[in-house]
């Protein structure tokens, strides 16, 4: 009943303040006729409800419930504080607490803790499940949503609710500056052949330029072929997907987008690509999603690279963020994207789809010391060298 009341109040309040709602969805929730009624009811609740209520909190909770009613795992309402935390994720130097996480039905499962990081000092362990950040539960939320709440500027505090061996622990952590490169590169040798092995973890602002530098380093080091490891890469910015694909594709279509309230747009390669004669393999898994699928799909469709691994996540929609006057923001699904061959990787709307099927099936675990998939990728790409 309380949840319904919150949703009702928020809807009523928004009806009286339609300017707070982006024009793309305003018509679905408000009309001219109920503006006065909305403000009156919110005033009555604020004045006469049996206990004091925080109007701002009512609005925040109601907006969250409104977006949740869309049953879209990719759409979220960010309160002002959550939005400030979310914005920090585009800066790799504001990584927060020093953990690597994977999605869990209960929230986020910790798969790695960086030595000497704030999380390590606070006692966070691999296998812990983060079920809430502050007062925000993470169950059924996306990995990006939870991660965005954990990250933040150095010196600020974040409180994690953690499940460990059936116990719920509350762990306060002070964030710190942790430089976590999103792109790394090294030379591996396969039967006397030098291969550039590139690991790319996130499509954040400027990450394409960082990957381009790593590609140049391994090529200058004598690499005759490339493996691009996009496993567990949950995606990020569409613009960075175009930048990354442009490292390897000299021209042509990378991705196209289409939305109900957005014209169809085709994104083309930007030029200055490496030589197309350099063989390439993209390594993927179930955690390869969103922008990482866009890059993989473009390279596969255009015949630039073979794909090795397991099928990818299968996300076929993209989101846009619109800031609100209260300092919060709406991050909502606004359209679908299509690979150069016109394929949408989702299952229709926001449903999970078939994703990208690899050319060569290979199971591995990037967190394991016995990860078998890279050796298969190296063998496949080495066979392409002429």
What one-character-per-residue DSSP string does 316-327 give? -EEEEEEE-TTS
39 vs 61: CA distance, rounded Å = 17
d(CA 271, CA 269): 6
**β-strands 183-190, 193-200: how paired?**
antiparallel
Summarised one tens digit per residue, pLDDT across range 300-328 is 999 999 999 999 999 999 998 899 998 99
275 & 349 share domain? yes
Element (H, E) at 173: strand 167-174
The string of DSSP letters for 153-169 reads -TT-EEEEEEEETTEEE
Range from 86-95, 141-150, 365-374 carrying the lowest mean pLDDT: 86-95
Rg (Cα) of the chain, in Å, rounded? Answer: 23
Domain end marker among 127, 148, 174? 174
Q: Is residue 200 part of a domain?
A: yes
The CATH number covering residue 158 comes to 2.30.42.10
Number of domains composing the chain: 3
The answer as to whether 360 is a domain residue is: yes
pLDDT, tens digit, 9 for 90 and up, residues 60-115: 888 888 899 999 999 999 988 888 767 755 554 445 888 878 788 899 988 778 87
Q: Which residues are catalytic?
A: 290, 315
pLDDT of residue 366: 80
Domain final residue, candidates 155, 174, 193 = 174
Residue pair 164/97 in contact by the 8 Å Cβ criterion: no
Residues 343 and 238 in one domain: yes
* Domain span including residue 212: 183-317+334-382
**In the numeric block, which tokens belong to residue 357?**
């099927």
Both structure tokens of 338: 């299509």
Q: Do 265 and 212 fall into the same domain? A: yes
CA distances from 10 to 3, 15, 135, 282, 283 (A): 11, 8, 19, 46, 45
Give the pLDDT score at 63: 84
Q: Compute CA distances 329 → 323, 324, 372, whole Å.
A: 4, 5, 42
Q: How many angstroms separate the CA atoms of 288 and 241, rounded?
A: 13
Find out whether 219 and 249 touch, Cβ atoms under 8 Å: no
The reply to whether 78 falls in a domain is: no
Q: 């939005």: which residue's tokens?
A: 83
Indicate if 195 and 148 belong to the same structural domain: no
**What is the Cα–Cα distance from 112 to 99, expressed in whole angstroms?**
6
Max Cα–Cα distance, the chain, nearest Å: 80
Is 76 within the bounds of a domain?
no
In whole angstroms, how far apart are CA 82 and each of 55, 77, 148? 18, 9, 8
324: tokens are 């609100």
pLDDT at 306: 97
Q: Which regions of 191-347 does DSSP assign to beta strands (E)? A: 193-200, 225-229, 253-259, 262-268, 280-284, 306-309, 317-323, 329-338
Residue 4: the pLDDT is 55
Inside any domain, residue 329: no
d(CA 64, CA 42): 17
DSSP for 350-383, please give it: TS----PPPSEE----TTSTT--HHHHHHHHHHT
Q: To the nearest whole percent, how much of the chain has pLDDT over 90?
A: 58
> Residue 352 has which token pair?
């999970």
The residues facing 281 across adjacent strands are 227, 306
Q: Residue 160's beta-bridge partner residues?
A: 133, 171
Residues 152-190 have pLDDT tens digits of 888 999 999 999 998 999 999 999 887 777 898 999 999
For 228-277, the pLDDT digits (tens) are 999 999 998 999 999 999 999 999 999 999 998 888 999 999 999 999 99
- Co-location of 121 and 56 in the same domain: no
Q: Are residues 259 and 193 in the same domain?
A: yes
């Amino acid at each position: 009943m309380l949840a319904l009341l919150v949703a009702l109040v928020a809807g009523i309040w928004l009806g009286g303040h339609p300017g707070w709602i982006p024009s793309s969805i305003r018509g679905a929730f408000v009309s001219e006729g109920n503006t006065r009624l909305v403000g009156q009811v919110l005033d009555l609740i604020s004045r006469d409800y049996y206990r004091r209520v925080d109007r701002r909190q009512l609005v925040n909770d109601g907006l969250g419930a409104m977006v949740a009613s869309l049953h879209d795992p990719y759409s979220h309402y960010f309160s002002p504080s959550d939005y400030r935390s979310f914005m920090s994720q585009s800066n790799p130097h504001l990584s927060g607490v020093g953990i690597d996480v994977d999605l869990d039905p209960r929230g986020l499962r910790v798969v790695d803790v960086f030595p000497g990081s704030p999380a390590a000092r606070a006692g966070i362990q691999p296998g812990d499940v983060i079920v809430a950040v502050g007062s925000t539960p993470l169950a059924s939320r996306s990995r990006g949503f939870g991660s965005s709440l954990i990250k933040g500027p150095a010196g600020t505090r974040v409180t994690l609710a953690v499940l460990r061996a059936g116990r719920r622990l509350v762990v306060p952590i002070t964030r710190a500056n942790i430089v976590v490169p999103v792109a790394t590169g090294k030379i591996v040798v396969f039967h006397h052949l030098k291969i550039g092995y590139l690991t790319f973890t996130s499509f954040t602002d400027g990450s394409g330029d960082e990957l381009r530098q790593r590609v140049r380093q391994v090529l200058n080091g004598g690499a005759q072929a490339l493996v691009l490891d996009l496993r567990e890469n949950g995606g990020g910015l569409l613009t960075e997907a175009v930048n990354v694909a442009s490292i390897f594709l000299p021209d042509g279509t990378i991705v196209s987008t289409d939305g109900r309230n957005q014209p169809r747009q085709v994104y083309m390669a930007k030029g200055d690509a490496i030589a197309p004669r350099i063989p390439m393999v993209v390594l993927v898994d179930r955690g390869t999603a969103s922008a990482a699928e866009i890059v993989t799909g473009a390279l596969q469709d255009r015949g630039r690279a073979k794909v090795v691994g397991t099928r990818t996540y299968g996300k076929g929609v993209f989101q846009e963020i619109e800031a609100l006057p209260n300092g919060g923001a709406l991050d909502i699904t606004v359209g679908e994207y299509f690979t150069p061959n016109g394929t949408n990787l989702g299952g229709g709307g926001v449903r999970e789809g078939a994703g990208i099927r690899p050319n060569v099936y290979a199971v591995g675990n990037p967190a394991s010391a016995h990860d078998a998939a890279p050796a298969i990728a190296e063998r496949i790409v080495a066979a392409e060298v002429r």
